Amino acid sequence: GQQLNQSPQSMFIQEGEDVSMNCTSSSIFNTWLWYKQDPGEGPVLLIALYKAGELTSNGRLTAQFGITRKDSFLNISASIPSDVGIYFCALAGYGGATNKLIFGTGTLLAVQP
């Protein structure tokens, strides 16, 4: 089946540091999404990417859709305590359905004030 690997599994950083995480897919998809999940909540969309090579920013967050269409990365600059949470990449179009998503394994981010 489809594999969506995300790394690192967890990160513990100091406030103000930059963060980078990435996802790789075993297949080609047309849409990469990045979500953040706070404890006990549903995921919230951060960035959506639709074209190979696309680089998109949302405040301190930047994400890129890899040229091969099999990978993506998310960067967070100048981290702050409220960045704490689990970050998931996701692919849209799973099983041929436009809105079906498959999620990555997640990256747990902890920020030390």
Least spacing, CB of residue 54 vs other proteins, in Å: 13
Our CB check for other proteins shows the closer of 33 and 76 to be 33
Of positions 54, 62, 77, 103, contacts other proteins by CB under 8 A: 103
Of positions 12, 82, 96, 99, contacts other proteins by CB under 8 A: 99
Bridge partner residues of 78 (DSSP)? none
Under rule CB under 8 A, which residues in 76-95 are in contact with other proteins? 88, 92, 94
109 binds other proteins (CB under 8 A): no
Positions in the binding site for other proteins (CB under 8 A): 31, 33, 40-45, 48, 88, 92, 94, 97-106, 108
